[in-house]
Amino acid sequence: MSLPETYLQMISTVSTDGELQMRLAAKKMPTPGPDEVLVRIEATPINPSDQGVMFGWSSMDKATSTGTGADTILKAPVSKHGMQVMKARVGQDLSIGNEGSGTVVAVGENAQGLMGKLVGLMGGEMYAQYRLVKAAMCLPLGPDHTAKDGAACFVNPLTASSMVEAMQLEGHTALVHTAAASNLGQMLNRICQADGVQLVNIVRSEAQEKLLRDMGAQYVVDSSKDSFMADLTDAVHETGATLAFDATGGGRLASDILSAMEAAAARTPGAYSIYGSVKHKQVYLYGGLDTSETILTRGYGMAWGVGGWLLPNFLARVGQEAADRMRARVVQELTTTFANDYSDEISLADALQSEVVARYNAKKTGAKFLINPQLPM
Amino acid sequence: MSLPETYLQMISTVSTDGELQMRLAAKKMPTPGPDEVLVRIEATPINPSDQGVMFGWSSMDKATSTGTGADTILKAPVSKHGMQVMKARVGQDLSIGNEGSGTVVAVGENAQGLMGKLVGLMGGEMYAQYRLVKAAMCLPLGPDHTAKDGAACFVNPLTASSMVEAMQLEGHTALVHTAAASNLGQMLNRICQADGVQLVNIVRSEAQEKLLRDMGAQYVVDSSKDSFMADLTDAVHETGATLAFDATGGGRLASDILSAMEAAAARTPGAYSIYGSVKHKQVYLYGGLDTSETILTRGYGMAWGVGGWLLPNFLARVGQEAADRMRARVVQELTTTFANDYSDEISLADALQSEVVARYNAKKTGAKFLINPQLPM
């Protein structure tokens, strides 16, 4: 099979004069070195972690697109505060796409066994028609899997698995999760049910609550109800959860969770001292669906922490053995525990059309976009 | 020497109907068991950690006192929010005073060697004329020491020592400290200078800056200046500090410190990824001089944490060997590295007079109160 001489790759750049620009750049088709393989990317999801790199702190409500097909260009202004926060990336062409899957179309001499195989990939630059990688980075998928099955076999599966791993590592026995009806949240429910871990799901509507109840979730609390704090405290008390993962990041939700944990501890004789409950209570902010400031009321004693949480940092902390164990489970349970649903499949050019951006950037439950770089543009 | 039949102990109670009441309660003089000693308390400091137990979330700007001497009673209203936060202590008589020093006046049969000795003590209930303790809890002071020298030989000395200990334990190489001109802050400067640890001192006035410069502090930044963030970023960059201890707790100071750490990291090639700087940046809130909400802007990547910090929890974490090592150093350097200055020496009854409370509760630099329970009332 002969390959084209160039391929297209999505690029995001913040200019010194305060503008975000995204485009498709033509790159020379590479030839694999001895230990490398060339993968034709056939499916790559748009995750919140990708959107952070794509748009950063730009004013996306003012984004506009020009051109069509390979010539599509997306532009958005960046505020003074946005420029300050993104200082370190100004002027740099950033490639995007944390994970994807596709077919191996060229191999180096030490990687011939992978020729023609369908593989999952992680490591950036996946929003492109092709990607050259070390053979060791490929996760070969099963014979019945499709590229769509394997497109998101790293970020969400390993993030959800890592939440349970972190719970055990840091001495907690149950979990709280926000934005719990998301793809990731549903996956976490399947893992926790399989592993017998109690999980308190925080959702924002009755429809989301029903979705999780229908899949067997025992603890679901709706933050849109007046009884939210009482419901959350009851659920935290019943499960004994002292660790939470919050996808929203902003506002008072992290603080409310700590308050509920403190109120739950106060119901347990001996769990309380004059400086508050004794057991460490932790909320990790792993996303930023709400970009407003995080407000902490601090009415929960002294044994608490709030912090950022990023998958690569956690994987580095737990080491290769734990990462390999989690990865093997993902392939084993790819179309069950770790299955993903996609609402839309789009081309690279579609992903730069401002009206399409507005849809996937709304980050609504149920709206999950997949890019297929092989779709005609 | 014959002992009185009763002694006075300070008590703090929050009633179910929303009032804080503090008074001196008469207690029966105890007789030491075989391994116990009775100490006549001669000096006990008012630390911020004691004030938390004394007043909690009461409205101290509306406090009033009645009576004199042993009959003095202090009252203050408690807001609905305050009652919510203090729920776990409502209706309980709390005794106060984390540390103190005094003379051993009665001993059990296994503790006769301590008779007549001047000792330092930690463990609560020190705002009293006498305190019965296990002999093992006494830290015998040196022959040249006074009760005043040894009154505060635990909380501040071990807190300051633990900050350096935590820095090493958690893989940091330099420190940031707020309210840095406090007694504790001056102590931390002496420790860091002796140990060759770089320390960024954050103060709130030129007078405080001068005080620390005069004692040899190299990095002092004044948060009242317009150049504060630039000055702080420079100091953090020069020292490489990624751990801070914040005594204020509320407002934006913790967030500003993380922003400065992030801006400093952005100056260092290789320290930065698209998800922010890679090295974990931590701020521990060990006090609450500012009881307003803590605001986090989160413009500092994903490798950061903010949390409560409490000395007993940290000592439990590092274990007995480290605690003993820190304690031995305190006695060795009690009147040098770990020396305390007091602005006022007051009686137990004085400590319940609202106009005196207003003075020590203002928590101003240079105002440090010592209670001498033996002063006539």
The answer on A147 and A38 residing in a single domain is yes
The answer to whether the Cβ–Cβ distance between B302 and A309 falls below 8 Å is yes
What does the alpha-carbon distance between residue B244 and residue B220 come to, in Å, rounded to a whole number?
14
The answer on A312 and A166 residing in a single domain is yes
The pLDDT score that the predictor gives to residue B263 is 93
- Indicate whether A323 belongs to any domain: no
CA A165 to chain centre: 17
The pLDDT score that the predictor gives to residue A268 is 81
Helix axes B48-55, B354-361, angle to 10 degrees: 140
CB interface of A with B, residues 13-52, below 8 Å: 49, 52
**pLDDT confidence bin for A2, thresholds 50/70/90:** confident
Helix runs in chain A, H state only: 48-55, 80-85, 147-150, 155-169, 183-195, 206-214, 228-239, 253-266, 311-318, 320-332, 354-360
- Indicate whether A98 belongs to any domain: yes
Residues of B in contact with A293 (CB under 8 A): 295-298
B307 contact A CB<8A: yes
The answer on B293 and B165 residing in a single domain is yes
Closest alpha carbon within chain A to B85: A299
- Coil vs helix vs strand at B201: strand
Residues of A in contact with B84 (CB under 8 A): 299
The answer to whether the Cβ–Cβ distance between B295 and A295 falls below 8 Å is yes
The pLDDT score that the predictor gives to residue A272 is 66
B85 contact A CB<8A: yes
- Indicate whether B262 belongs to any domain: yes
Q: Which residue has the tokens 């006695």?
A: B331
- Indicate whether A169 belongs to any domain: yes
As to burial, measured by CB atoms within 10 angstroms (0-12 exposed, 13-18 middle, 19+ buried), residue B251 is middle
B310 contact A CB<8A: yes
pLDDT at A68 over 70: yes
* Residue A128, φ and ψ in degrees, nearest 5: -160, 160
Q: Which of A258, A204, A264 is nearest to A233 (CA)?
A: A264
Q: What is the pLDDT tens value at each position of chain B, 377 positions in all?
A: 589 999 999 999 999 999 999 999 999 999 999 999 999 999 999 988 899 899 988 999 999 999 999 999 999 999 998 998 888 889 999 999 999 999 999 999 999 999 999 999 998 999 999 999 999 889 899 889 999 999 999 989 999 999 999 999 999 999 999 999 998 999 999 999 999 999 999 999 999 999 999 999 999 999 999 999 999 999 999 999 999 999 999 999 999 999 999 999 988 877 667 788 889 999 999 988 888 999 999 989 999 999 999 998 999 899 989 988 998 899 999 999 999 889 999 999 999 999 999 999 987 767 889 999 999 98
From the CA atom positions of chain A, what is the Rg in Å? 22
CB interface of A with B, residues 212-271, below 8 Å: 249-250, 263, 266
The answer to whether the Cβ–Cβ distance between A308 and B302 falls below 8 Å is yes
B91 contact A CB<8A: no
The answer on A163 and A148 residing in a single domain is no
Residues of B in contact with A266 (CB under 8 A): 87-88
A61 contacts: CB under 8 Å, gap ≥ 6:
none
State pLDDT tens for residues A324-358: 899 889 999 999 999 988 999 999 999 999 999 99
The distance of A354 to chain B (nearest Cα, Å) reads 23
As to burial, measured by CB atoms within 10 angstroms (0-12 exposed, 13-18 middle, 19+ buried), residue B101 is buried
The answer on A186 and A59 residing in a single domain is no
The answer on A203 and A120 residing in a single domain is no
What does the alpha-carbon distance between residue A114 and residue B5 come to, in Å, rounded to a whole number?
89
The pLDDT score that the predictor gives to residue B288 is 84
Closest alpha carbon within chain A to B98: A274
State pLDDT tens for residues A33-63: 999 999 999 999 998 889 989 998 899 999 9
**Closest partner CB to A53 (pick from B263, B274, B303):** B274
* Residue B16, φ and ψ in degrees, nearest 5: -60, -25
- How many structural domains comprise chain A? 2
The answer to whether the Cβ–Cβ distance between A293 and B294 falls below 8 Å is no
Q: Pairing mode, if any, of strands B276-277 and B272-273?
A: antiparallel
The answer on B275 and B349 residing in a single domain is no
**Closest partner CB to B85 (pick from A275, A280, A299):** A299
- Indicate whether B63 belongs to any domain: yes
The answer on B109 and B63 residing in a single domain is yes
- Indicate whether A325 belongs to any domain: no
Residue B221: which CATH number? 3.40.50.720
pLDDT at A271 over 70: no
- Indicate whether A61 belongs to any domain: yes
The answer on B198 and B101 residing in a single domain is no
Secondary structure E strands in B93-216: 94-95, 99-107, 118-122, 130-134, 139-140, 174-178, 198-203
**pLDDT confidence bin for A114, thresholds 50/70/90:** very high
The distance of A21 to chain B (nearest Cα, Å) reads 16
The pLDDT score that the predictor gives to residue B1 is 59
State pLDDT tens for residues A193-235: 999 999 999 999 999 999 999 999 999 999 999 999 999 999 9
The answer to whether the Cβ–Cβ distance between A87 and B266 falls below 8 Å is yes
Boundary of a domain, candidates A300, A316, A332: A316
Closest alpha carbon within chain A to B262: A85
Residue B44: which CATH number? 3.90.180.10
DSSP for residue B16: T
Lookup: tokens for A134: 């070390």
A84 contact B CB<8A: yes
The answer to whether the Cβ–Cβ distance between A295 and B299 falls below 8 Å is no
A85 contact B CB<8A: yes
The answer on B176 and B244 residing in a single domain is yes
- Return the H-helix or E-strand segment holding B323: helix B320-332
The answer on A190 and A299 residing in a single domain is yes
B87 contact A CB<8A: yes
Residue type, B1: M
Tally of CA atoms within 13 A in the half-sphere of B288 that contains its CB: 24
A78-91 in b/e burial notation, b at 16+ Cβ within 10 A?
beeebbebbebbee
The pLDDT score that the predictor gives to residue A10 is 98
- Coil vs helix vs strand at B355: helix
Closest alpha carbon within chain A to B310: A302
pLDDT at A365 over 90: no
Candidates B256, B259, B274, B285: best to mutate against A (most CBs of A within 10 A) is B274
The answer on B303 and B194 residing in a single domain is yes
- Indicate whether A332 belongs to any domain: no
Range of the domain at A79: 6-152+340-371
The answer to whether the Cβ–Cβ distance between A305 and B310 falls below 8 Å is no
B278 contact A CB<8A: yes
Q: Which residue has the tokens 């090493």?
A: B168
Cα dihedral A89→A94→A99→A103 (10° resolution):
-170
The pLDDT score that the predictor gives to residue B48 is 84
- Do residues B172 and B241 make contact, with C-beta atoms less than 8 angstroms apart? yes
State pLDDT tens for residues A283-326: 999 988 888 999 999 989 999 999 999 998 999 899 989 988 99
B288 contact A CB<8A: yes
The pLDDT score that the predictor gives to residue B136 is 84
Candidates B293, B295, B311: best to mutate against A (most CBs of A within 10 A) is B293
